[in-house]
Amino acid sequence: MTSSSPFPDAFPAATDQDVSMQPGYYFEDSVQQQERERIFARCWNFVGFAEQVAEHGQFLTVEIGGTSVVVQNFQGELRALHNVCTHRFAKIQEEKCGKRALTCPYHGWTYDKEGTPFIPGNAKYFQLDDAGRKARALRSFKLEQCGRFLFVRLAEEGPSLPQYLGPYADILLHLSEIFTDQVDDQRSLWQANWKLGVESVLEVYHVGLVHPESFKNYVQARWEIDVGEGFNNGVAYLSENSAKWWDGVRQRLKLHQSQRFPNYDHFFIFPNLAIGLSHGCLMSVQTYTPLTPQTNELHYRIFMAASDLEAGRQAAVRKAVVENVTTFNRVILGEDQHIMEQVQKGNAQMSMAPVHGSNEARIRKFHQHWHHWMSLASGENAKRD
Query: How many residues contact ligand FES, by CB under 6 A?
Result: 9
* Residue whose C-beta lies closest to Fe ion: 336
Instruction: Decide if residue 88 touches ligand FES (CB under 6 A).
Output: yes
- Of the candidate residues 19, 80, 85, 178, the single one contacting ligand FES (CB under 6 A): 85
Look up residue 55 and give its DSSP letter.
S
Report which residue type is found at 44: W
Strand order in the sheet with 273-278: 181-190, 296-304, 282-290, 273-278, 264-269, 233-238, 219-226
Instruction: Decide if residue 138 touches ligand FES (CB under 6 A).
Output: no
Beta bridge partners of 275: 267, 285
Tell the smallest beta-carbon distance from residue 283 to ligand FES (Å). 38
Tell the smallest beta-carbon distance from residue 101 to ligand FES (Å). 13
User: Alpha-carbon distance 277 to 308, whole Å?
Assistant: 20
Considering CB distances under 5 to 8 angstroms, the limit depending on partner class, which of ligand FES, Fe ion, none binds residue 330? none
Tell the smallest beta-carbon distance from residue 120 to ligand FES (Å). 8
User: Alpha-carbon distance 162 to 113, whole Å?
Assistant: 25
Closer residue to ligand FES, CB minimum distance, 104 or 219 = 104
User: Alpha-carbon distance 53 to 163, whole Å?
Assistant: 25
SS3 assignment, position 360: helix
- Of the candidate residues 87, 96, 136, 371, the single one contacting ligand FES (CB under 6 A): 87
What is the dihedral angle through the alpha carbons of 175, 336, 273, 248, rounded to the nearest 10 degrees? 0
Where does this chain touch ligand FES (CB under 6 A) — which range of 13-21, 34-42, 85-93, 170-178? Answer: 85-93
Sites for ligand FES among residues 139-178 (CB under 6 A)? none
Tell the smallest beta-carbon distance from residue 322 to ligand FES (Å). 41
Instruction: Decide if residue 336 touches Fe ion (CB under 5 A).
Output: yes
For the chain, give percent helix, strand, coil, nearest 5: 35, 25, 40
Instruction: Decide if residue 199 touches Fe ion (CB under 5 A).
Output: no
Instruction: Decide if residue 91 touches ligand FES (CB under 6 A).
Output: no
Considering CB distances under 5 to 8 angstroms, the limit depending on partner class, which of ligand FES, Fe ion, none binds residue 336? Fe ion
Instruction: Decide if residue 90 touches ligand FES (CB under 6 A).
Output: yes
Q: Residue 111: name the closest of 68, 80, 153 by CA.
A: 80
User: Alpha-carbon distance 54 to 213, whole Å?
Assistant: 40
Whether 237 and 204 have beta carbons less than 8 Å apart is answered as no
Whether residue 271 has a cis bond before it, omega within 30° of 0: yes
Sites for ligand FES among residues 102-131 (CB under 6 A)? 104, 106-109
Rule CB under 6 A: which residues touch ligand FES? 85, 87-88, 90, 104, 106-109
Q: Summarize as ranges the residues that interact with Fe ion (CB under 5 A).
A: 336
